[in-house]
Amino acid sequence: MPDPCDAVVVGSGPNGLAAAITLARAGCSVVVYEANATIGGGARSAELTLPDFLHDVCSAVHPLAAGSPFFKTLPLERFDEGLLVELKRQCASTIEIDRDQLVLGHVYIERRMQPLNLHVEECRRDGDEEKLRAALREYGNAIKELAGAGIFPGDMLLKNFGVTRHGRVLFYDYDELCLLTDCRVRTLPQPQAWDDELEPFRHASDFAPVVWLHQVG
């Protein structure tokens, strides 16, 4: 029988670890269970394509983190001195040291990246056709750049791309990332009925690709 504990946390993603740490700070004995080989959940990174080329395994943008009291204040003792020096040098205006806590004033990516689907809706609402065309052109360029590097994003919905403050469109969700050499392209079959034409797009946006790509195996 395992040793008794005060709390069991299932899952070692950011929320699970935050809960476990909060309980441990309160004096509870905590056990964390994780089904995967590595901890981190949606905040993990891994070599998904090329050696030494790290990708976010899940979403790369976590805008709600900035509003979390837990993630906004972190124990100062957990930071390496060299990292603190670098943080003060690079982003002194967005961090604050409050006694034994490091307070994050702003998560940078929330400010510098807007989800492409929201950007497109904003352009439509404002009637800014020039800005809309520029964003969709950049969306195509982002896909071309990935293809040029031999990478297929798997899920090309607009919500998985973001627009920087300079108007660049970047891919930031790597749930189904794979190499192009591991894919084969199939053209859509001719529809046999009117509703067959809708099937590939039932769960896609207006700008979904019109080809199927299947990962080998």
CA distance 168 to 155: 19
The pLDDT tens digits for 141-190 are 998 888 888 888 877 889 889 898 788 898 877 666 778 888 776 666 67
pTM (2 d.p.):
0.44
Average pLDDT score over residue span 83-97: 83
Task: Give the position of tokens 């837990």.
Answer: 70
Task: For residue 1, name the pLDDT band (cuts at 50, 70, 90).
Answer: very low
135 neighbors 163 (Cβ within 8 angstroms): yes
Write out the H or E segment, with its range, that includes residue 94.
none
Average pLDDT score over residue span 116-125: 93
Number of Cβ atoms within 10 Å of the Cβ of 203: 8
CA distance 25 to 22: 5
Q: Domains for the chain: give ranges and CATH numbers.
A: 1-43 (no CATH), 63-106 (no CATH), 111-215 (1.10.510)
Q: CA distances (Å), 114 to each of 16, 118, 150, 166, in order? A: 27, 7, 26, 11
The rounded Cα 115 to chain-centroid distance in angstroms is: 11
Predicted confidence (pLDDT) at residue 9 exceeds the cutoff of 60: yes
Work out the percent of the chain whose per-residue pLDDT is above 70. 76
CA distance 174 to 216: 18
Say what the pLDDT of residue 134 is.
95
130 neighbors 78 (Cβ within 8 angstroms): no
More confident residue, 197 or 95: 95
